[in-house]
A and B are shown apart, each in its own frame.
Chain A
Amino acid sequence: MNILAIDDNKDITDMLETILSIEHNVTVVNNGKDGLRMIIEGNYDLVLLDLAMPEFTGYDVIKSLKEKGLLNKQKIALFTASSMTESEIDELQREGVKYCIRKPVDIDVLLTLVNALQPYK
């Protein structure tokens, strides 16, 4: 599975790369702008998206994808430490971001969740 991890914290992207690359093909990027560009250019089975990033946030990424009509075509799982309000969650789910992994996460849980999101072949 091709996975793109977008997070401004390099320690986290390194960790994700290390853990997930045993079973998957992982690409990491440390800012939202590059992340967006890579989503548009590349072909990823799953994008792990951090929300709170400087300059260009996860929300901005989602907004841009929505404007380009790509949001429904790309499977995105939020990977965030933010405590979102009910209305924010509702809003994101309505727009097609259906998955959310809360930071910090146990790696067993992370691996299970990522595998669960794997498309059947």
Chain B
Amino acid sequence: MKISKRLMIFYSILIVSSIGIVSYIAIYMFNEYITKAGIKEMNYNVERIKIEINNMHNRAKEYILFALNNPVIKEYFTLSESSINMYNNIKFTGKQLELKEDIDKWLLHFQTYFNIDEICLIDVTGQEHSRIILSKVESIDKLSSDEEYSSYFKQSFEINEGDVYIAYPYVSPDTNRWVFAYTSPVVLNDGSKPAFLHFEIPLEHMRNIIDVNHGRIYIVDLNGYVILDSENKVKHNNSIYIGQKPAEYFGTLATVSDSREFRELLEDTKDSVVGENVYATYHNDGELHHVVYSKLPMFDWILIYDVPHSMVIGDNINLLVMSISLAIFILTIGSIFAVYILSKSITNPIARLSEECNKLDATQLKKLDIKSNDELASITNSINNLIDKVNSIDRQKEEFSSMITHELKTPLTPIIGWSQALLNEKIMGNMNQKQIKAVNAILSNAERLRRLIGDILDAQKLDLKSMKFDYKEFNVNDMMSELYNNLLHSMKSKNITFTNNTDIQTIIKSDRNRIEQVLNNMVFNAIDFVPENGKIEMAAKDNGNDILFYVKDNGIGIPKDKQANLFKKFYQIDTSAKRKHGGSGLGLAICKGIVEGLGGKIWVESEEGKGSTFYFTIPKVRE
């Protein structure tokens, strides 16, 4: 994998994971914070509701005491008892009627002003003396014996002047609603309590108090019946009747949740202390619910404030998640871009260096020219040092080979020169046949040495790719004819039949000397390997874009498995052949180098015992 890719992946994972962790922590902390704030708000709401319920009761107490403060009421009951027929038919005296009208008016006014359901003045016998229901003066009646002996009735007389008794809610016989009833006695100057004033406030009034924005508030009695539910969802009995018991009307909290945690929580509420807020949680349908509950001072009722976690968090968390998501998105894109730039800044110089190195020409290693002042400079330096070393090695090789060839050629000069001079009658006079034979042997071996030296030099040049080609136009047929004539005398010793089957007049642009060198080499190889009276054929054919040359012999042939190695340096088929046909072992390697250098191909087709054909192609024009 590329470095840039690795960097990208590494840093992307790093950045995305760190952003993820930070976001997780942020959301977690935010959640904690919001939850705490939510619980605080719940506590505050519970406190507020408690105060408001308390205020409601206190207001009612104040109203009733205020109503009783009217002296007309005391005056009315101070009138002689005889004046009033306490039984069945009440016969008011004129004064009493007058006062009753005053009382009715006062109480009606009072009721209207304070918006009270029912207000009623009742004497010790259970006889009503004034009754106002929903802003209307109603006819007075006597309480039923049930009511007369109810604890409420008794309690109402037991409390002192200025005190108010609040009865446990019941169904009002007049309004047929569940009500709170407040009562306080009329106390005369002699301390007697001839009557009490009573009024009712419907339970429903409390619903306004327990209204909250989030979550749900219940007021539950000690038996687990829901007296009030802010959402009014707890099922209760649809019919209301006088004397109905709470258990017969109110629903239970079991309908809210039947989870074990919730039931345990309800059990705990019973043990709580009045006025103290308790925080608890439970799970319902997998969601966390926060609960703050408190025992109310009245009737041991318990106020329960229940808010699901999602409501505590509310829209805030969605907003936060959204903004964090957006931030993550922007940061991720931004950082990946930054990483891209960064990785490019690291890998670009590497890519540039590799590009520069690829451009290097192996035959002419030039120093890299990359201007930089970072790590790239030191790599460039190292490569340049290496190039220096390679160049100096190449120089040494070239110097060595030129020195060697010079040293070899120098002694060859007089050997060849003197031998040829000896054979020249004009220069040295006549020799006998034995002498001529000896000098010929010296000369032919000296020639072989000269060829070998030439081969080594060529191989060296091909190796260093320093061979220069001289491209000129020439006629292929001319070259082949001249070559044929030059080679003809070499065939005499083995009496070889040598033919040139070239019949094209194509003019090509290539290096004639080098092509001749290749053909020469192939023909001399063939001479080495054909038997006495053998055959050698050479030809050039027009092959479209290039010329196909071949040299064919009927020599010993080359085994299939040896053919592939034939064009390698210093490769000879076997040691016995080497002895018999002493070559430099460089000839075909040089041929291959030259042919390929000129843009052609070289190959051999051969069958053991039947002969070999060496082929090569040369492009007519080198692009």
Contacts and interface: CB of A to CB of B under 8 A. Distances in A.
Contacts of A108: 420
Nearest to A11: B414
Contacts of B427: 18-19, 22, 107
B406 interface: yes
Contacts of A11: 414, 418
Given A19-B427, A22-B426, A22-B427, A81 B413 contact: yes
Interface in A58-112: 81-83, 86, 103-108, 110
Interface residues on B, range: 20 to 34
A22 B414 CA distance: 18
Contacts, number: 63
A113 interface: no
B417 A83 contact: no
Interface in A33-73: 52
Contact of A107 (B402, B409, B424, B450): B424
A82 B413 CA distance: 12
A104 B442 CA distance: 14
Given A18-B427, A19-B421, A86-B468, A104 B416 contact: yes
B416 A105 contact: yes
Interface in B410-440: 410, 412-418, 420-421, 424, 426-428
B415 A104 contact: yes
Given A18-B421, A22-B427, A83-B457, A104 B413 contact: yes
A98 B488 CA distance: 34
Contact of B418 (A15, A52, A82, A105): A15
Nearest to B398: A85
A16 to B, nearest CB: 8
Contacts of A18: 421, 427-428
Contacts of A15: 413-414, 417-418, 421
Interface of B: 402, 405-406, 409-410, 412-418, 420-421, 424, 426-428, 446, 450, 457, 468
Ranked 4 nearest A-B pairs via Cβ: A81-B409, A11-B414, A104-B413, A15-B417
23 contacts: A11-B414, A11-B418, A12-B413, A12-B414, A12-B417, A15-B413, A16-B417, A18-B421, A18-B427, A18-B428, A19-B421, A22-B426, A22-B427, A52-B410, A83-B457, A86-B468, A103-B409, A104-B409, A104-B413, A104-B450, A106-B416, A107-B417, A110-B417
